[in-house]
């Protein structure tokens, strides 16, 4: 049996039935092109020992025709030399998490004018340096930075929603929630103690607003739901599965390594799948991640969509973002979504 990988995408799509191939192709376009190089004689032996035969490299570019998301894949980049030094010793993350203001939030963090939300595992504080006018921190009560249990994840989502309800009562203009979870410093967290951030605003942020426009245009043009067809397209090529009511995808146009998308129609269905994705991340060695949850406007029905992405080695001195991400709008990724789906299936399927 041929092992699937992203370089085989054109052939995988050709094997789909006509109807599914049409759905897939109206969402995605792609190319697979050889990248060629010539090594000087002095380099050839070293290169072959370290990399194998890489004079010709298969470059894959996948583009979402509707959202404009685009990703370049080249597995060779995962083996490129890193010339900057690593940390000399392993940092004790748990010890760092026990220090700082989040270890004692009632005494060392501000509250919102409408108070705090106090859950079983998390408590809110008003962000001292706000992103937006309604912005809170959701602080873990456990000093162990690693969230491992479904009740913890479920309580995080519950506290976020309850805070949005209170914030909306304080300012009825604000109806658009946005939850982000930056885990450790590689993901942009300035404090090691585990925390997430919840915002509520009167105008949706750019990325979720763009997807909402795509969904409206897609339904108007094709008569079906964009999220539904996106999941069908992923499942058709082996990159999607259902876990306890949640649709889970190893994303075909990831922003960086190991991006996972979870789609549900209820916030209660998010926690089981999100917990399993975090378990998968631990299994494959992910040390730091960003997560975000797109939610419908308050008091409206809609989708709850979680996005998670690997942010790399905590001890690396190299950045995981560069000019291609910032200005070309096209990330360069070394991880293969088909390998990621194998790991997701291992923790989600019996």
pLDDT in tens, 85-133: 333 334 567 666 677 778 888 988 899 999 999 999 999 999 888 889 9
Cα angle 33, 39, 42; round to 5: 160
Pairing of strands 332-333, 70-73: parallel
Query: pLDDT: is 73 or 3 the higher one?
Result: 73
Nearest to 130 by CA among 185, 86, 79, 167: 167
141 located within any domain: no
Lowest mean pLDDT segment, chosen from 47-61, 68-82, 196-210, 248-262: 68-82
Please state, in angstroms and as integers, the Cα–Cα distance from residue 315 to each residue in 193, 194, 273, 289, 308, following that order.
18, 18, 28, 14, 20
344 located within any domain: yes
Instruction: Fill in the DSSP letter of residue 38.
Output: -
Q: Which residues contact 304 (CB under 8 A, 6 or more apart)?
A: 263, 264, 265, 266, 267, 269, 270, 293, 294, 295, 296
303 located within any domain: no
- Quick check: pTM over 0.85? yes
Distance from C-alpha of 264 to C-alpha of 273, rounded to nearest angstrom: 10
Virtual torsion, Cα 212, 277, 157, 153, nearest 10 deg: 180
Domain that holds residue 68: 6-87+208-259+308-348
Predicted pLDDT at 281: 95
**Average pLDDT taken over every residue of the chain:** 89
In this prediction, residue 246 has a pLDDT band, given cuts at 50, 70 and 90, of: very high
248 located within any domain: yes
294 located within any domain: no
Q: Please state the domain count of the chain.
A: 1
137 located within any domain: no
Q: pLDDT tens digits, residue range 276-324?
A: 999 999 999 998 999 999 999 999 999 999 999 999 888 776 777 878 7
């Amino acid at each position: 049996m041929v092992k699937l990988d992203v370089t085989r995408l054109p052939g995988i799509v050709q094997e789909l039935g006509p109807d599914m191939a049409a759905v897939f192709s109206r969402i995605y376009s792609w190319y697979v092109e050889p990248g060629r190089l010539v090594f000087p004689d002095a380099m050839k032996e070293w290169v072959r020992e370290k990399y194998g035969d890489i004079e010709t490299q298969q470059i894959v570019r996948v583009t979402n025709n509707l959202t404009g998301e685009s990703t370049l894949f080249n597995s060779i980049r995962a083996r490129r030399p890193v010339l900057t030094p690593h940390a000399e010793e392993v940092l004790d993350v748990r010890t760092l998490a026990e220090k700082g203001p989040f270890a004692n939030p009632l005494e060392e963090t501000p509250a919102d004018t409408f108070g705090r939300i106090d859950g079983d595992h998390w408590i809110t504080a008003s962000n001292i340096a706000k992103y937006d006018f309604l912005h809170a921190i959701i602080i873990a009560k456990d000093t162990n930075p690693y969230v491992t249990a479904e009740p913890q994840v479920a309580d995080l989502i519950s506290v976020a929603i309850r805070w949005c309800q209170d914030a909306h009562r304080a300012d009825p203009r604000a109806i658009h929630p946005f939850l982000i979870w930056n885990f450790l410093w590689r993901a942009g967290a300035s404090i090691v103690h585990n925390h997430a951030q919840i915002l509520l605003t009167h105008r949706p942020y750019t990325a979720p607003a763009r997807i909402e426009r795509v969904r409206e245009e897609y339904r108007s043009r094709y008569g079906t739901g964009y999220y539904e067809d996106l999941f069908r397209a992923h499942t058709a090529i082996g990159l999607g599965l259902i876990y306890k009511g949640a649709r889970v995808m190893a994303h075909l146009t990831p922003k960086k390594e190991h991006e996972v998308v979870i789609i549900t129609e209820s916030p209660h269905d998010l926690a089981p799948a999100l917990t399993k994705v975090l378990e998968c991340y631990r299994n494959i060695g992910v040390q730091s991640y960003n997560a975000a949850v797109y939610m419908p406007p308050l008091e409206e029905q809609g989708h709850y969509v979680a996005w998670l992405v690997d942010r790399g080695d905590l001890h690396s001195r190299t950045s995981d973002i560069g000019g291609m991400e910032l200005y070309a709008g096209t990330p360069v990724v070394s991880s293969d979504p088909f390998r990621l789906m194998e790991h997701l299936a291992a923790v989600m399927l019996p």
